[in-house]
């Protein structure tokens, strides 16, 4: 296979500056490019993960079927501390959801996009045999 991982996620957001600040504070993303192309935009990066953010409500895609995206983290304790420091509330479930090989928290960004934050046991992706 030639596909290795998700390259980026492109989102329309209600308030570009507030959304950038939130992703910086909560997940450590940095702005690597910004400007105007049909609408104000910014490209954020954290490690190999990239988000392309456009300010605007005009596009929801065919069927508007977006559910959530997931960000993988390496340190569960740092995430728990960040949630407390940034007053991040879970939007699905009652907190940490434990799966056989991972734990997840579901939170919303300032535009209402749901993010699944995933911590794999031993920082290794695995599934039942």
Sign of CA dihedral 107, 14, 19, 33: positive
| Residues 29, 46 contacting (CB under 8 angstroms) | yes
* Spans of the chain, pLDDT less than 50: 2, 61-64
Predicted local distance difference test score (pLDDT) of residue 58? 59
Q: Rounded CA gap, 2 and 24, in Å?
A: 31
Predicted local distance difference test score (pLDDT) of residue 124? 83
| Residues 82, 71 contacting (CB under 8 angstroms) | no
Predicted local distance difference test score (pLDDT) of residue 62? 45
Q: Which domains does the chain have, with CATH numbers?
A: 9-56+67-123 (3.10.180.10)
For 44-64, the pLDDT digits (tens) are 999 888 898 888 765 554 444
Predicted local distance difference test score (pLDDT) of residue 54? 86
Predicted local distance difference test score (pLDDT) of residue 127? 75
């Amino acid at each position: 296979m030639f596909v290795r991982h998700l390259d980026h996620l492109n989102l329309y957001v209600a308030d570009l500056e507030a959304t950038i600040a939130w992703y910086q504070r909560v997940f450590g993303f940095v702005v690597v490019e910004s400007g105007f192309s049909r609408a104000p935009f910014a490209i954020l990066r954290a490690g190999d993960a990239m988000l392309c953010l456009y300010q605007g409500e005009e596009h929801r895609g065919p069927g508007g079927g977006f559910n959530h995206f997931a960000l993988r983290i390496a340190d569960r304790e740092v995430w728990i501390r960040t949630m407390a420091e940034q007053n991040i509330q879970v939007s699905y479930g009652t907190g940490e959801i434990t799966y056989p090989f991972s734990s997840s928290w579901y939170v919303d960004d300032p535009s209402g996009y749901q993010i699944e934050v995933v911590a794999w046991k031993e920082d290794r992706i695995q599934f039942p045999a």
